[in-house]
C-alpha cells in the first residue's frame, strides 16, 4: 500500500508546473499522502494490536511475581491443603477450588438444558415477530451487572430458597447427603442458582449462533424423509452442531468459574469442604474479593495472588478450548493444526 | 450424519407413529417451557428492581453524598460522578487502542498468522475473570503509587474494554466491501486516510455499537474496582485519590445490615441498570438503522 502513495507523489511532481492543480488534487496533496504517513499509521495499528499480547504478558508477570512467596514455600501442595489460617501463616486453596468447581457444576446442570431449549426455540420454532424481542431480552440478561444479580439474590432468591425449596430438598433428597444440614440459605446451591441465571444468556446466544450455522439443506433433507420437527432438530441440527454446543457450554463454564460479585454475596464465605450443597462454602474469586484489601502480611497477599494466578490459567485454558470448538463449527471447517 | 438413521428403514407402525408425534409435541413443549423459565427470573429481577428502586429514588439520591451510619437520607451523587470519571478514563484508554487493534486485524493483517493470534488472544482475554484484572492493575499501578486511585480503577476497566472493542471493530470492518476500499485507493487517497475516513466511516455504526457494548459491560463491573479505585464516602474528582463508584457502593450497601442502606442499594442498582439498558437500546437503534445495511 505504501507504493500506492509513492506513485501518487510521482505523478504530482511530474505534472507540468504551468497548469494549476484541480481542487481535488490540491486537497489530496495537503492530506499527507506520503509513504511515511502510511508506514507510521500501519505501525501504530500494529502496536495497538500487539498491546493485547502485552496485556496478557503483564497480567501473567504481575501474578507470578506477586505469588513467588507462596510458590516457594508451599509448592504444589498449596492446591491440596485445606487449611486457611492467615494468623499462623498456613495456606491451602482446596476449599476455594472445591467451592468454585461445585458451584460451577451446579450452575451448568441447571443452565445447559434450559439454554439449549431456548436456542432451539428461538431458531427453529419461534414465530418471526417474537424472535427479535426474545433475543433482545436474553441479551439484556447478559447486560445486567453481577452486583445487581447479587443484590437480587440476597433479597429475593435466598429467602425463596430458604423458605420453600431447601426444606423440600432436605425432606425428599436428604438421604443422599447432598442436601442435608442446617438451612442457612447462603450456600453453594444459591451460588449455583444465581450463576446459572448469569451464564444462561452466554450459552444460549452462542448455541443459537452455532445452530444457525447448520446449513438449511441438512434440515430440508431430514424433513424430506418424513421426519417430524423434533426428529429434524435432533438428527439434522443438534447432531451437526454438537461440537459447537459443547464449546459454548465450556465458555459458560469459564464465565462461571471467574464470576466474583454475585457468588461472593450469596455463597456464605466459609472456607470449609462439605458434601452438602446446603452448607456455606467459598470460591476462589470471592476469597480474593473479600480478603485482598485486608491481607496484612506479604505471605497472605501472596497466597491470594496465587489463587488469582490459578484462576487466570484455568480460565485461559477453558476459554481457548471453547473458542477452538466454537470456531470449528461456525467457520464451517475443522480447525487447522497450524 | 443423519444418514445412518435413515439407511435402516423401518415400517412405521401405528404406535411408533403416535410415539413420534408425541415426542415432537413433548420437545416443542420443553423448548417453550424452558424459554418461559428463562424469561421468569429476568422479569422477576426487573420487576423487583423497578418496584424497589423507584420507591427509594428521590432527589437527595442524586445530590447528596452518603450519610454516616445511623442517619437517614443521603445519596450517591459522589458515586455517580465517580463512575463517570472512571468510565471516562477507561474509554479514553480502551476505545482508541481497541479500535486500532481491530483496524490492524481487518486491514493490515488479513490472513497473517499474527492477526489470527491477536484475534484468538482477544477472545481468550475476554473471558478472563475481572477480578484477575484487578490484581494485575493493583500490582502495576497501586503498588508503585502506594495508594488506591481513580487512575488505577480506570485503567483496570480500560484494559477490559480493549479485547471486546477490538473484536467487534474487526468484524464490522470486514463487512465493508472491498470495492469501497479500491475506489478510495483508485482516487489516489493514501491508505491511512482511506482506512480512517472511508472504511472506518462506513463501518462506524457497528464500531460504535461495539464500543457501547463494552462500555455497558464495564459500567457494572465491581470486582476490578475493589482494590484499585477502592471507593470513597466523600466528593472526590482527583484521579490520584480513591474514588467512589456506583457498583462498589451498591456492593457495600447490599452487604450492610441497615435497611436504609439497602434502600439506597436498590436505588443505585436501578440507576445503574437504566444507564446500561439505555446504552444497549441506543446501540440497537443505531445498529438497526445503520449505514451498514446498505453497504454490505
DSSP for chain B, please give it: -THHHHHS-----HHHHHHHHHHHHHHHHHHHHHHHHHHHHHHHHHHHHHHHHHHH--HHHHH-PPPPTT------HHHHHHHHHHHHHHHHHHHHHHHHHHHIIIII-TT-HHHHHHHHHHHHHHTS-HHHHHHHHIIIIIHHHTS--HHHHHHHHHHHHHHHHHHHHHHHHHTS-HHHHHHHHHTT--HHHHIIIIIHHHTHHHHHHHHHHHHHHHHT--GGGTTTTB--SS----TTS-B--HHHHHHHHHTSS-HHHHHHHHHHHHHHHHHHHHHHHHHHHHHHT-THHHH-
Residues 76-105 (A) with a CB less than 8 A from some CB of B: none
CB nearest to B220's CB, from A4, A145, A258: A145
Q: A312, B220: Cβ pair inside 8 Å?
A: no
How far apart CA B220 and CA B272 sit, in angstroms, is: 7
Residues 6+ apart with CB under 8 A from B106: B169, B170, B173, B174
pLDDT at A101: 94
Radius of gyration for the alpha carbons in chain B, expressed in angstroms and rounded: 25
How far apart CA A21 and CA B56 sit, in angstroms, is: 68
pLDDT at B13: 59
Phi-psi map region of A177: left, alpha, beta (phi>0 left; psi -120 to 50 alpha): left
Instruction: Tell me what the mean pLDDT of segment B102-111 comes to.
Output: 89
**A335 contacts chain B (CB < 8 A):** no
How far apart CA A289 and CA A259 sit, in angstroms, is: 11
Residues of chain B contacting A156 with CB distance shorter than 8 Å:
44, 48
pLDDT at B290: 52
Residue carrying C-alpha cell 452518603: B66
pLDDT at A297: 86
Q: A49, B100: Cβ pair inside 8 Å?
A: yes
**Closest CA–CA distance from residue A148 to any residue of chain B (Å):** 6
Mutate to test the interface with B, among A14, A52, A333 (most CBs of B within 10 A): A52
pLDDT at A325: 86
**B108 contacts chain A (CB < 8 A):** yes
pLDDT at A178: 84
CB nearest to A137's CB, from B39, B219, B265: B39
CB-based burial of residue A247 (10 Å sphere; 0-12 exposed, 13-18 middle, 19+ buried)? buried
pLDDT at B136: 93
Residues of chain A contacting B23 with CB distance shorter than 8 Å:
228, 230-231
**A316 contacts chain B (CB < 8 A):** yes
pLDDT at A310: 94
How far apart CA B97 and CA B86 sit, in angstroms, is: 17
Where are the domains positioned within chain B?
A: 3-56, 63-295
Q: A49, B166: Cβ pair inside 8 Å?
A: yes
- Residue B187 binned pLDDT confidence (cut-offs 50, 70, 90): confident
The sign of the CA dihedral A229, A234, A235, A236 is positive
Q: A323, B120: Cβ pair inside 8 Å?
A: yes
Q: Of A116, A119, A260, give the one whose Cα is nearest residue A195.
A: A260
C-alpha cell at B208: 460504535
Nearest CA in chain A to B105: A49
How far apart CA A116 and CA A97 sit, in angstroms, is: 27
CATH, range B63-295: 1.10.3720.10
C-alpha cell at B233: 464516602
pLDDT at B39: 87
**A200 contacts chain B (CB < 8 A):** yes
pLDDT at A120: 92
Residues 6+ apart with CB under 8 A from A76: none
Q: A312, B132: Cβ pair inside 8 Å?
A: yes
C-alpha cell at B195: 482506512
The H helix count followed by the E strand count for chain A is 16, 2
- Residue B98 binned pLDDT confidence (cut-offs 50, 70, 90): very high
Given a contact cutoff of 8 angstroms between Cβ atoms, the answer to whether A91 and A303 are in contact is: yes
Residues 185-214 (B) with a CB less than 8 A from some CB of A: 185, 187-193, 195
**B239 contacts chain A (CB < 8 A):** no
Query: Quick check: helix, strand or coil at residue A90?
Result: strand
Residues B132-171 pLDDT 10s: 999 999 999 999 988 899 999 999 999 999 999 999 999 8
Given a contact cutoff of 8 angstroms between Cβ atoms, the answer to whether A196 and A107 are in contact is: yes
Residues of chain B contacting A31 with CB distance shorter than 8 Å:
190, 193
Residues B7-41 pLDDT 10s: 455 555 566 888 888 999 999 999 999 999 988 88
CB nearest to B159's CB, from A55, A200, A251: A55
Residues A157-206 pLDDT 10s: 999 999 998 888 888 888 888 888 888 889 999 999 999 999 998 899 88
pLDDT at A7: 43
Longest C-alpha distance within chain B, in Å? 79
**A38 contacts chain B (CB < 8 A):** yes
Q: B166, A221: Cβ pair inside 8 Å?
A: no
How far apart CA B183 and CA A87 sit, in angstroms, is: 70
Nearest CA in chain B to A111: B38
Q: What ipTM is given for this predicted complex?
A: 0.86
Q: A42, B108: Cβ pair inside 8 Å?
A: yes
Q: B185, A118: Cβ pair inside 8 Å?
A: no
**A238 contacts chain B (CB < 8 A):** no
Nearest CA in chain A to B229: A293
For residue B191, the tally of other CB atoms under 10 A from its CB is: 24
State how far the alpha carbon of B252 is from the alpha carbons of A145, A146, A270, A312, B262, in Å: 15, 14, 19, 26, 10
Given a contact cutoff of 8 angstroms between Cβ atoms, the answer to whether B274 and B61 are in contact is: no
**Closest CA–CA distance from residue B144 to any residue of chain A (Å):** 12
Residues of chain A contacting B168 with CB distance shorter than 8 Å:
none
Nearest CA in chain A to B104: A45
Intervals of chain A under pLDDT 70? 1-21, 25-34, 331-338
pLDDT at B296: 37
Residues 6+ apart with CB under 8 A from B102: B165, B166, B167, B168, B169, B170, B172, B173, B207
- Estimate to the nearest angstrom the gap between the alpha carbon of B47 and the chain centroid: 22
**B115 contacts chain A (CB < 8 A):** yes
pTM: 0.85
How far apart CA A258 and CA A284 sit, in angstroms, is: 8
Torsion angle of the four alpha carbons A217, A223, A227, A229, in this order, in degrees rounded to the nearest 10: 90
How far apart CA B130 and CA B150 sit, in angstroms, is: 17
Q: B192, A140: Cβ pair inside 8 Å?
A: no
State how far the alpha carbon of A179 is from the alpha carbons of A66, A105, A159, A188, A192, in Å: 39, 15, 17, 11, 14
Pairing of strands A90-91, A84-85: antiparallel
pLDDT at A19: 57
Given a contact cutoff of 8 angstroms between Cβ atoms, the answer to whether B289 and B75 are in contact is: no
CB nearest to B123's CB, from A218, A258, A323: A323
CB nearest to A143's CB, from B103, B114, B216: B216
Residues B245-264 pLDDT 10s: 999 999 999 998 888 889 88
C-alpha cell at B174: 470486514
CB-based burial of residue A79 (10 Å sphere; 0-12 exposed, 13-18 middle, 19+ buried)? middle
Q: A66, B6: Cβ pair inside 8 Å?
A: no
How far apart CA A211 and CA A205 sit, in angstroms, is: 10
What domains can be seen in chain A, in order of their start residue? 73-330 (1.10.3720.10)
**Closest CA–CA distance from residue B247 to any residue of chain A (Å):** 7
Amino acid at each position: 500500500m505504501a507504493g500506492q502513495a509513492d506513485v501518487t507523489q510521482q505523478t504530482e511532481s511530474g505534472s507540468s508546473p504551468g497548469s494549476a492543480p484541480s481542487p481535488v488534487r490540491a486537497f489530496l496533496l495537503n492530506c499527507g499522502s506520503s509513504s511515511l504517513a502510511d508506514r507510521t499509521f500501519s505501525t501504530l495499528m500494529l502496536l495497538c494490536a500487539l498491546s493485547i499480547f502485552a496485556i496478557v504478558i503483564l497480567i501473567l508477570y504481575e501474578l507470578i511475581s506477586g505469588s513467588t512467596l507462596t510458590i516457594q514455600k508451599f509448592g504444589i501442595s498449596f492446591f491440596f491443603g485445606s487449611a486457611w489460617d492467615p494468623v499462623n501463616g498456613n495456606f491451602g486453596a482446596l476449599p476455594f477450588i472445591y467451592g468454585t468447581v461445585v458451584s460451577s457444576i451446579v450452575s451448568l446442570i441447571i443452565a445447559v438444558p434450559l439454554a439449549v431449549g431456548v436456542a432451539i426455540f428461538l431458531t427453529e420454532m419461534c414465530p418471526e415477530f417474537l424472535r427479535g424481542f426474545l433475543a433482545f431480552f436474553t441479551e439484556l440478561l447478559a447486560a445486567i451487572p453481577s452486583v445487581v444479580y447479587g443484590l437480587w439474590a440476597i433479597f429475593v432468591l435466598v429467602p425463596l430458597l430458604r423458605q420453600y425449596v431447601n426444606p423440600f430438598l432436605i425432606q425428599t433428597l436428604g438421604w443422599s447427603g447432598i442436601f442435608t444440614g442446617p438451612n442457612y440459605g447462603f450456600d453453594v446451591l444459591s451460588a449455583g442458582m444465581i450463576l446459572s441465571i448469569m451464564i444462561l444468556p452466554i450459552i444460549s446466544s452462542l448455541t443459537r449462533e452455532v445452530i444457525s450455522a447448520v446449513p438449511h439443506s441438512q434440515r430440508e433433507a431430514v424433513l424430506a424423509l418424513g421426519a417430524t420437527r423434533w426428529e429434524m432438530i435432533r438428527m439434522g441440527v443438534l447432531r451437526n452442531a454438537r461440537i459447537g454446543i459443547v464449546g459454548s457450554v465450556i465458555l459458560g463454564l469459564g464465565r462461571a468459574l471467574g464470576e466474583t460479585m454475585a457468588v461472593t454475596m450469596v455463597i456464605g464465605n466459609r472456607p470449609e469442604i462439605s458434601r452438602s450443597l446446603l452448607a456455606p462454602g467459598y470460591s476462589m474469586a470471592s476469597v480474593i474479593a473479600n480478603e485482598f484489601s485486608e491481607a496484612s502480611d506479604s505471605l497472605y497477599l501472596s497466597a491470594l495472588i496465587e489463587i488469582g494466578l490459578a484462576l487466570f490459567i484455568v480460565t485461559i485454558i477453558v476459554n481457548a478450548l471453547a473458542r477452538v470448538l466454537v470456531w470449528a463449527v461456525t467457520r464451517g471447517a475443522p480447525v487447522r493444526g497450524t | 450424519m443423519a444418514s445412518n438413521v435413515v439407511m435402516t428403514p423401518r415400517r412405521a407402525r401405528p404406535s411408533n407413529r403416535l410415539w413420534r408425534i408425541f415426542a415432537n409435541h413433548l420437545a416443542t413443549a420443553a423448548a417453550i417451557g424452558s424459554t418461559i423459565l428463562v424469561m421468569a427470573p429476568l422479569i422477576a429481577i426487573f420487576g423487583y428492581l423497578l418496584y424497589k428502586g423507584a420507591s427509594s429514588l428521590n432527589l437527595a439520591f442524586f445530590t447528596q453524598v452518603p450519610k454516616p451510619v445511623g442517619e437517614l437520607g443521603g445519596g450517591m451523587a459522589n458515586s455517580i460522578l465517580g463512575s463517570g470519571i472512571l468510565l471516562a478514563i477507561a474509554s479514553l484508554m480502551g476505545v482508541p487502542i481497541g479500535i486500532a487493534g481491530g483496524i490492524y486485524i481487518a486491514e493490515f493483517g488479513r490472513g497473517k498468522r499474527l492477526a489470527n493470534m491477536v484475534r484468538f488472544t482477544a477472545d481468550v482475554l475476554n473471558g478472563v475473570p475481572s477480578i484477575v484484572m484487578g490484581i494485575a492493575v493493583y500490582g502495576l499501578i497501586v503498588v508503585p503509587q502506594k495508594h488506591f486511585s481513580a487512575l488505577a480503577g480506570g485503567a483496570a476497566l480500560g484494559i477490559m474494554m480493549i479485547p471486546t472493542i477490538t473484536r467487534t471493530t474487526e468484524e464490522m470492518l470486514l463487512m465493508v466491501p472491498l470495492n469501497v476500499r479500491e475506489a478510495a485507493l483508485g482516487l489516489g487517497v493514501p491508505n491511512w486516510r482511506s482506512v480512517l475516513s472511508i472504511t472506518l466511516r462506513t463501518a462506524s455504526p457497528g464500531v460504535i455499537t461495539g464500543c457501547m457494548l463494552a462500555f455497558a459491560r464495564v459500567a457494572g463491573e465491581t470486582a476490578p474496582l475493589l482494590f484499585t479505585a477502592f471507593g470513597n464516602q466523600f466528593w472526590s474528582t482527583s484521579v490520584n485519590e480513591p474514588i467512589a463508584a456506583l457498583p462498589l457502593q451498591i456492593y457495600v450497601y447490599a452487604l450492610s445490615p441497615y435497611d436504609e442502606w439497602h434502600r439506597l442499594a436498590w436505588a443505585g442498582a436501578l440507576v445503574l441498570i437504566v444507564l446500561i439498558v439505555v446504552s444497549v437500546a441506543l446501540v440497537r437503534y443505531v445498529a438497526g438503522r445503520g449505514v451498514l445495511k446498505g453497504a454490505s
